[in-house]
């Protein structure tokens, strides 16, 4: 848990962790960009990140899947930041000083040795600001890009992920902390006796080691996970520093936090439970009315076909022949017990369809994140309310409109800083220690 100032009893006060998911609407590409830079313009991404650093956000986050479809190409989130995450993050690290940089990478479609090198390098190059969002993939036909004819089962993907992270952490420790040092004459001394093989032999991997990159600045780059199924929650509880949660209602939030804390105490009692960061989409106005108009415009701008196709992807069925405004026939929904893709998203849509008899239009318009609409004061108050109630430890901002993003930094964050919720400065150069997480040797 992270602290800022003390409260009236003198004990450290919990502070809110703020993360920005990168990617905005189509209109955003031109922010801070010259038209000559072309439509896939990285200056707009850099602008976002530098603004987040001004707002003292803890980190920025780049999501990723390893496949695409015609519908996916239409998503604003993708169109405004289509880059491979580790590459993008290395670029961003070179242009920022303090903010944490979290990249998504799949344990299903990579090997621990490769990823351990990449994250170790990113951590050293960024001065200890790297984070890894560990995902097990399972979107669309991603497996066809990796020589497979079908998606490995959900259970197998999670077993592989658990072993993958174990191997990666061992590789990050294959160099002792002081294996590389600078001699008095300023030459570099690398002591082979302080570099060790790991000789891992497991169900999915055989890795001898050692790594060919020195130990990362944070030893373990910050680990992020967002599992929602029982296997996903167990993985998050056993490896994560941060978990991303979807908590549209306070009760769902409470249940999730309780679940993750319980499993974390059972599986990893020696480490404090992961920081729970809830997805939130904020429409901020200088007045309430202005914010409502922004939300309305945002909804009107949603690409219905692309969103329907995303729901289809998460449910694993076609909805295109169904009437838009009639409840979805229940026999259309695949059997939950045999569903191999992301179960968390599937369950949210399934519950909505079954328990609330949602129509296709309802599903397409469902926001998986908590939506807050209001003036800066109202938004700050709402955010503080769920935080104080222990429903989350911070927020993962999702794209709303560009102006709301700017107002969040110019108006909402200063209110939260004044009230002691949000940090005014970065306390440590390392993301891990800034978040109040220990360096595990």
Q: Identify which of residues 396 and 417 has a Cβ nearer to ligand FMN in the complex.
A: 396
100 interacts with ligand FMN by CB under 6 A: no
Smallest separation (angstroms) from ligand FMN to the CB of 341: 8
247 interacts with ligand FMN by CB under 6 A: no
Among 128, 232, 274, 436, binds ligand FMN (CB under 6 A): 232
239 interacts with ligand FMN by CB under 6 A: no
Q: Identify which of residues 53 and 234 has a Cβ nearer to ligand FMN in the complex.
A: 234
Spatial distance between the Cα atoms of 383 and 280, rounded to a whole number of angstroms:
9
Smallest separation (angstroms) from ligand FMN to the CB of 414: 26
228 interacts with ligand FMN by CB under 6 A: yes
280 interacts with ligand FMN by CB under 6 A: no
274 interacts with ligand FMN by CB under 6 A: no
Smallest separation (angstroms) from ligand FMN to the CB of 103: 9
Q: Identify which of residues 211 and 280 has a Cβ nearer to ligand FMN in the complex.
A: 280
Helix H, strand E, coil C: the string for the chain is: CCEEEECCCCCEEECCEEEEECCCCHHHHHCCCCHHHCCCCHHHHHHHHHHHHHCCCCEEEECCCCCCCCCHHHCHHHHHCCCCHHHHHHHHHHCCCCCEEEEEEECCCCCHHHHHHHHHHHHHHCCCCEEEEEECCCCCCHHHHHCCCCCCCHHHHHHHHHHHHHHHHHHHCCECCCCEEECCCCCEEECHHHECCCCEECCCCEECCCCCCCCCCCCCCEEEECCCCHHHHHHHHHHCCEEEECCCCHHHHHHHHHHHHHHHHHHCCCCCCCEEEEEEEEEEECCHHHHHHHHHHHHHCCCHHHHHHHHHHHHCCCCCCCCCCCECCHHHCCCHHHCCCCHHHHHHHHHHHHHCCCEHHHHHHCCCCEEEEEEHHHHHHHHHHHHHCCCCCEEEECCCCHHHHHHHHHHHHHHHHHCCCCCCCCCCCCHHHHCCCCCCC
Nearest residue (beta carbon) to ligand FMN: 232
Among 43, 327, 344, 414, binds ligand FMN (CB under 6 A): 344
64 interacts with ligand FMN by CB under 6 A: yes
Smallest separation (angstroms) from ligand FMN to the CB of 96: 21
Considering only 60-68, 170-178, 192-200, 413-421, which stretch makes contact with ligand FMN by CB under 6 A?
60-68
Considering only 47-55, 190-198, 212-220, 337-345, which stretch makes contact with ligand FMN by CB under 6 A?
337-345
Interface pattern 207-226 for ligand FMN (x via CB under 6 A) = -------------------x
Among 136, 309, 375, 434, binds ligand FMN (CB under 6 A): 136
Rule CB under 6 A: which of 65-84 touch ligand FMN?
65
Interface pattern 114-133 for ligand FMN (x via CB under 6 A) = -------------------x
Give phi and psi for 194, each to the nearest 5. Answer: -105, 15
Among 227, 273, 274, 394, binds ligand FMN (CB under 6 A): 227
396 interacts with ligand FMN by CB under 6 A: yes
107 interacts with ligand FMN by CB under 6 A: no
Query: What is the maximum alpha-carbon separation in the chain?
Result: 77
Residues making contact with ligand FMN (CB under 6 A): 63-65, 104, 133, 135-137, 139, 226-229, 232, 244, 246, 279, 342-345, 396
């Amino acid at each position: 848990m992270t602290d800022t100032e003390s409260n009236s009893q003198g004990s450290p006060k919990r502070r809110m962790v703020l993360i920005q998911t990168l990617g905005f609407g189509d209109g955003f590409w031109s922010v801070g960009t010259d038209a000559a830079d072309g439509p896939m313009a990285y200056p707009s991404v850099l602008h976002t990140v530098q603004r987040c650093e001004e707002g003292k956000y803890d980190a920025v986050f780049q999501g990723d899947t390893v496949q695409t479809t015609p519908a996916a190409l239409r998503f604003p989130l993708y169109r405004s930041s289509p880059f491979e995450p580790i590459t993008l993050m290395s670029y961003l690290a070179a242009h920022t000083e303090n903010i944490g940089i979290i990249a998504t990478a799949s344990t299903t479609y990579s090997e621990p040795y490769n990823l351990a090198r990449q994250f170790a390098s990113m951590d050293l190059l960024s001065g200890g600001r790297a984070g890894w969002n560990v995902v097990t993939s399972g979107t669309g036909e991603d497996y066809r890009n990796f020589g497979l004819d079908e998606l490995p089962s959900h259970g197998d993907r999670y077993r592989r992920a658990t072993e993958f992270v174990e191997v990666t952490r061992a590789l990050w420790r294959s160099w002792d902390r002081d294996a590389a040092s600078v001699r008095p004459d300023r030459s570099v001394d690398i002591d082979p006796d302080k570099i060790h093989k790991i000789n891992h032999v497991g169900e999915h991997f055989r890795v001898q080691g050692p790594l060919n990159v020195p130990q990362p600045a944070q030893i373990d780059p910050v680990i992020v996970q967002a599992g929602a199924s029982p296997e996903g929650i167990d993985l998050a509880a056993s490896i994560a520093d941060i978990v991303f949660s979807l908590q549209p209602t306070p009760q769902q939030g409470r249940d999730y936090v309780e679940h993750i804390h319980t499993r974390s105490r059972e599986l990893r009692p020696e480490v404090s439970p992961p920081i729970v960061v809830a997805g939130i989409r904020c429409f901020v106005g200088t007045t309430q009315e202005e914010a409502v108009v922004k939300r309305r415009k945002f909804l009107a701008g949603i690409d219905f076909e692309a969103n329907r196709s995303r729901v289809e992807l998460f449910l694993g069925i076609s909805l295109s022949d169904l009437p838009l405004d009639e409840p979805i026939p229940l026999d259309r929904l695949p059997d939950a017990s045999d569903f191999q893709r992301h179960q968390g998203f599937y369950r949210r849509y399934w519950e909505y369809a079954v328990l609330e008899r949602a129509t296709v239009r309802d599903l397409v318009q469902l926001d998986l994140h908590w939506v807050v609409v209001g003036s800066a004061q109202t938004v700050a108050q709402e955010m503080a309310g769920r935080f104080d109630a222990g429903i989350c430890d911070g927020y993962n901002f999702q794209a709303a409109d560009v102006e709301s993003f700017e107002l969040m930094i110019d108006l909402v964050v200063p209110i939260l800083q004044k009230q002691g919720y949000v940090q005014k400065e970065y306390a440590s150069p390392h993301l891990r220690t800034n978040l109040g997480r220990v360096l595990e040797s």
